[in-house]
């Protein structure tokens, strides 16, 4: 189909936890699949989503009271229990619990046929989603550019505006 | 009869849409693609996808939790 006018979409991705890695890549990949031209501007903690090694991304149940926590395996009665409201924040300060919560979320996602974050990211790149990493925050946090995946452009806020100028669909995540 | 069939069973949003897009991009205009999905959300999603991309949704059928979408590529 011929390119439509105003078919540009931009996303500002600011969060770097395992759970929040998904929305930008889901929306961006779906956007390009639906003939949008998509740019994601990664800034602050969102830069973590561009790392080659994403194994350190975690979901934190601390200060995350709406996060349902159900077991992805085990007997049915156990899987029905929502541990989220039952466990005090204090519990999640025990070393290893954040790793556990991340592990269980990954298991739950796999069980539900949700794509892996890396798979969505690869699809975005295959569909030509433009990834821009905020140069200022790359420097600020001491990221090494060699640690980022290929195909990332490094630029500033002005380039974001240049990308956003021709569209009317802009999301902050 | 479909020219191509894509089995997206067991996959969840947005994978059925992404795989449909990929499958269609490899096909010639006028060819027919059948997409099989078990994701109930894909009923509305495939419809929206076709609306936006101009591909023609010829039919949607459901058979015991399996959805079959027949799409004609534009």
Which chain B residue lies closest to A127 (C-alpha atoms)?
B22
Tell whether B18 is covered by a domain: yes
Cross-strand pairs, B6: B35
- Read off the pLDDT of residues A128-146 as tens digits, 9 standing for 90 and up: 999 999 999 999 999 999 9
Query: What's the whole-number mean pLDDT along residues A22-34?
Result: 97
- Read off the pLDDT of residues B25-41 as tens digits, 9 standing for 90 and up: 999 999 999 999 999 99
Which chain B residues have a beta carbon less than 8 Å from that of A24?
none
- Read off the pLDDT of residues A55-81 as tens digits, 9 standing for 90 and up: 999 998 888 888 889 999 999 999 999
Q: Tokens 């069980």 correspond to what residue?
A: A111
Tell whether B57 is covered by a domain: yes
Host domain of residue B55: 4-69
Size of interface A-B (CB pairs under 8 A): 41
Mutate to test the interface with A, among B14, B36, B50, B71 (most CBs of A within 10 A): B14
Instruction: Decide if pLDDT at B1 tops 80.
Output: no
In CATH, the architecture of A8-56+116-172 is: 3-Layer(aba) Sandwich (3.40)
Domain containing B59 — which CATH number?
3.30.110.40
Tell whether B13 is covered by a domain: yes
Instruction: Decide if pLDDT at B68 tops 50.
Output: yes
Q: What residue ranges do the domains of chain A occupy? A: 8-56+116-172
Percentage helix, strand, coil for chain A under 3-state DSSP, each rounded to 5: 45, 15, 40
Nearest-by-Cβ selection for A26 from B10, B14, B54: B14
Tell whether B41 is covered by a domain: yes
- Read off the pLDDT of residues A83-127 as tens digits, 9 standing for 90 and up: 888 888 889 899 999 999 999 999 999 999 999 999 999 999 999
Nearest-by-Cβ selection for B18 from A1, A112, A123: A123
Which chain B residues have a beta carbon less than 8 Å from that of A120?
14
Tell whether B30 is covered by a domain: yes
| ipTM, 2 dp | 0.90
Instruction: Decide if pLDDT at A8 tops 70.
Output: yes
How many structural domains does chain B have? 1
Which pLDDT belongs to residue A94? 92
Contacts of A21 (CB under 8 A, 6+ apart): A15, A48, A49, A54, A57, A117
Tell whether B74 is covered by a domain: no
Q: Predicted confidence band at A1 (pLDDT cuts at 50, 70, 90)? A: very low
**CB–CB contact A34 B18 (8 Å):** no
């Amino acid at each position: 189909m011929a390119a439509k006018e105003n078919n540009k979409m931009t996303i500002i991705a600011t969060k770097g936890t395992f759970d929040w890695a998904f929305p930008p890549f889901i929306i961006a990949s779906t956007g390009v699949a639906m003939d949008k031209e998509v740019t994601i501007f990664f800034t602050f903690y969102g830069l973590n989503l561009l790392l080659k090694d994403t194994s350190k991304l975690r979901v934190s149940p601390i200060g995350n009271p709406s996060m349902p926590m159900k077991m992805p395996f085990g007997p049915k009665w156990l899987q029905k229990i929502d541990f989220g409201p039952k466990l005090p924040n204090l519990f999640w300060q025990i070393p290893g619990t954040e790793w556990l919560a991340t592990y269980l979320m990954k298991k739950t996602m796999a069980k539900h046929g949700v794509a892996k974050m890396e798979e969505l990211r690869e699809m975005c790149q295959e569909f030509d989603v433009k990834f821009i990493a905020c140069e200022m925050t790359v420097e600020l946090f001491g990221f090494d550019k060699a640690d980022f995946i290929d195909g990332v452009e490094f630029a500033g806020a002005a380039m974001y505006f240049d990308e956003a100028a021709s569209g009317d669909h802009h999301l902050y995540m | 009869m479909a020219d191509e069939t894509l089995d997206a069973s067991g996959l969840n949003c947005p994978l059925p849409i992404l795989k449909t897009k990929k499958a269609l991009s490899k096909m010639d205009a006028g060819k027919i693609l059948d997409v099989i999905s078990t994701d109930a959300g894909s009923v509305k999603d495939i419809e929206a996808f076709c609306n936006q991309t101009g591909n023609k949704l010829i039919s949607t059928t459901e058979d015991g939790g399996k959805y079959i979408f027949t799409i004609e590529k534009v």
